[in-house]
């Protein structure tokens, strides 16, 4: 059997789904462009997934190799989605101009609605967002790349895919597409911040809390960025009503900020309780990590308090209180670690 056919049951199942998607797309293309394009998109996704995950042969390899496989999968699916959106926009533009030249009196009947494709892009974008969070919660070190290179690939892929989804929103307004695109941008830039962390030679007990703190600070920076854009995009409103896509996106920013704040609290809680995890044998007692952990918490707390007062947003005020509790837990756990070291 050729080497490229030596795959797991998962790989064969996904490649079987590719065949079914292509057959479905061929039969449906003549009736609906949206359905045919959707089938082709999923065929490409299933094919890439089958080739990538079909190489994971044994459960023993999952603990170490899945990280590398997941990174490759995220980048590959992100590139496929970005390319597909760009190709769809190019073909749609050419079709519209052809319609304008051949039958200018019917141009008003031209519809840019591709419901199946829009929903598929939304689903894939959300899947990529979950996968990026899953990747960040595990060890980033891969056999083929360092943690910094992995963070570079993940961050860049998330940003490019987020921009592609937002570009699709400019052609066809969709709340779900806009939210997922903003979320991918929000996690992409903090992921790039991980490049500044120490080298891979540091112990796991040192790298993981540093990563949590870097992500916490990066997400808080994104809260400030979206808050700034919320004020800048005020000019896209006319008498309080949005008249551009950017104006519509402005209404989604408060929800995105609340979502980022909740994620920040999850990250802060993980950073606070990290030394107490059963599988961690060391102590997170470095003065610099404690100092930066306090700085990260305070940065988040002050940001949430400022936004809560400015917008009179009770939810953000509650989240600021929870962040203060996380800071107290962070200090108590670190001080107890120092007491254990002294005894």
Q: Domain ranges for the chain, please list them.
A: 58-201, 204-343
Average pLDDT over residues 144-167: 88
Q: Choose between 98 and 258: higher pLDDT.
A: 258
What's the confidence (pLDDT) of residue 1? 42
Please spell the DSSP secondary structure of 254-292, one letter per residue: HHHHHHHHHHHHHHHHHHHHGGGSTT--S----HHHHHH
Task: Specify the 3-state DSSP secondary structure of 160.
Answer: helix
Residue 238 phi, psi dihedral angles, 5° rounding:
-125, 110
CA–CA separation, 314 and 305 (whole Å)? 10
Q: Choose between 260 and 231: higher pLDDT.
A: 260
Q: Is the pTM of this model over 0.75?
A: yes
What's the confidence (pLDDT) of residue 60? 42
What's the confidence (pLDDT) of residue 67? 61
CA–CA separation, 163 and 222 (whole Å)? 15
End-to-end CA distance of the chain: 63
**37-46, 71-80, 139-148, 181-190: which has the minimum mean pLDDT?**
139-148
What's the confidence (pLDDT) of residue 5? 58
Residue 242 phi, psi dihedral angles, 5° rounding:
-75, 135
Within 112-203, residue ranges assigned H as helices are 115-136, 147-171, 175-193
Nearest to 54 by CA among 37, 81, 29, 73: 73
């Amino acid at each position: 059997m050729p080497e490229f056919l030596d795959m797991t049951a998962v790989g064969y199942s996904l490649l079987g789904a590719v065949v079914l998607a292509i057959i479905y797309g061929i039969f449906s293309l003549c009736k609906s462009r949206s359905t045919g394009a959707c089938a082709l998109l999923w065929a490409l996704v299933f094919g890439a997934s089958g080739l990538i995950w079909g190489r994971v042969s044994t459960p023993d390899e999952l603990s170490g190799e899945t990280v590398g496989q997941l990174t490759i999968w995220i980048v590959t699916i992100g590139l496929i989605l970005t390319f597909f959106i760009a190709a769809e926009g190019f073909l749609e533009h050419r079709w519209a101009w052809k319609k304008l030249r051949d039958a200018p009196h019917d141009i008003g009947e031209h519809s840019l609605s591709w419901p199946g494709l829009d929903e598929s892009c939304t689903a894939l974008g959300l899947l990529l967002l979950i996968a990026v969070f899953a990747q960040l919660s595990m060890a980033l070190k891969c056999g083929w790349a360092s943690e910094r290179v992995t963070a570079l690939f993940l961050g860049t892929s998330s940003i490019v895919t987020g921009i592609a989804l937002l570009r699709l929103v400019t052609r066809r307004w969709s709340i779900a597409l806009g939210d997922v695109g903003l979320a991918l941008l929000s996690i992409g830039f903090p992921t790039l911040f991980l490049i500044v962390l120490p080298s891979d030679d540091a112990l796991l007990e040192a790298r993981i809390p540093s990563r949590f703190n870097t992500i916490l600070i990066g997400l808080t920076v994104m809260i400030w960025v979206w808050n700034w854009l919320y004020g800048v995009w005020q000019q896209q409103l006319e008498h309080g009503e949005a008249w551009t896509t950017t104006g519509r996106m402005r209404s989604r920013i408060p929800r995105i900020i609340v979502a980022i704040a909740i994620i920040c609290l999850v990250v802060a809680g993980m950073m606070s309780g990290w030394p107490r995890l059963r599988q961690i044998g060391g102590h997170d007692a470095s003065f610099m990590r404690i100092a930066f952990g306090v700085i990260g918490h305070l940065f988040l707390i002050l940001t949430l308090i400022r936004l809560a007062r400015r917008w009179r947003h009770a939810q953000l005020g509650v989240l600021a209180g929870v962040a203060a509790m996380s800071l107290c837990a962070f200090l108590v756990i670190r001080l107890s670690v120092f007491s254990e070291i002294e005894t």
